[in-house]
Amino acid sequence: MAGGPGVTRNSFNGIGPNRDDGKTTDQRLLDSRGPTDWVHTDPWRVLKIQAEFVEGFNELAELGPAISVFGSARTPVDDPMYALGLDLGAKLAKAGFAVVTGGGPGVMEAVNKGALEAGGMSVGLGIELPWEARLNEYVNAPLNFRYFFVRKTMFVKYSQGYVVMPGGVGTLDELFEALTLAQTQKITTFPIVLMGVKQWEGLIEWMRETMLAEKRINQSDLDMLTLTDDVDEAVALMVNAREKIWGERR
């Protein structure tokens, strides 16, 4: 078909062999011997990011009520926190929750194992890291991500609450992400439980004596956190929140 006034066929950049390299668009696409720098550009990364969101939404959309649990990948099997994680995972599963962890070793493995052995859904949202090559063997719903922010969206979007056990920088990141979203009401009716009183009481005291004392936060911000070592109390908080959320949706 001829073009409009002043337009001739193959006059648009990239349609005909009028680029600097003398190749057509199809030739550049099909010639695998050409340069591959394009795969590292930001527009291509956007497509990979989009694909991760689509996969995550597709796989988790029908998950049902779920609780995300965070904690250290370095927790050994003989640590009391590992045993606590086993108990927590099992009781969440028996209460009708899927459990969602980062899918790694340590506390995450314990929670996944407890849930799986109790007959529950055990989700692992892995992340591409130099030192963590695979998900733990107790995950029956695995997903892997390249990008932290996509993975963090899945933790929040498909969970009705967080349980945060002793951990490192990544665990703190997830804790304060959830606290920020709850404080700004981006998420509502979202209990956040800190398990491991010995680990967390110093942080809570610091927040109270510095941030609260200097009016950088409100008491209501601290009230969003429940500090306990009682698995039954943690599970009960999640059940109460679920009843409120799902009751409002009916």
Number of domains in the chain: 1
Q: Is residue 220 part of a domain?
A: yes
- What does the pLDDT look like over 195-248, one tens digit per residue? 999 999 999 999 999 999 999 999 999 999 999 999 999 999 999 988 877 665
- Per-residue pLDDT, averaged over 13-36, amounts to 53
Q: Is residue 42 part of a domain?
A: no
Q: Is residue 58 part of a domain?
A: yes
Residue 96 has which token pair? 């009708």
Judge whether residue 152 has pLDDT over 70.
yes
CA distance 45 to 43: 5
Among 16-20, 32-36, 198-202, the range scoring the smallest mean pLDDT is: 16-20
Q: Is residue 171 part of a domain?
A: yes
Q: Is residue 65 part of a domain?
A: yes
Which phi-psi region, left, alpha or beta, contains residue 123 (left: φ > 0; alpha: ψ -120 to 50)? beta
- What does the pLDDT look like over 81-103, one tens digit per residue? 999 999 999 999 999 999 999 99
Judge whether residue 16 has pLDDT over 50.
no
Residue 31 has which token pair? 């010639």
- Per-residue pLDDT, averaged over 115-133, amounts to 89
Residue 189 has which token pair? 């009716």
What CATH number does residue 138 fall under? 3.40.50.450
Judge whether residue 122 has pLDDT over 70.
yes
CA distance 3 to 235: 68
Of 83, 92, 248, the residue nearest 162 (C-alpha): 92
Q: Is residue 37 part of a domain?
A: no
Q: Is residue 97 part of a domain?
A: yes
CA distance 167 to 107: 9
Of 64, 84, 60, the residue nearest 72 (C-alpha): 84
Residue 242 belongs to what domain range?
Answer: 48-249
User: Which class for 61: exposed (0-12), middle (13-18), buried (19 or more C-beta within 10 A)?
Assistant: exposed
Q: Is residue 186 part of a domain?
A: yes
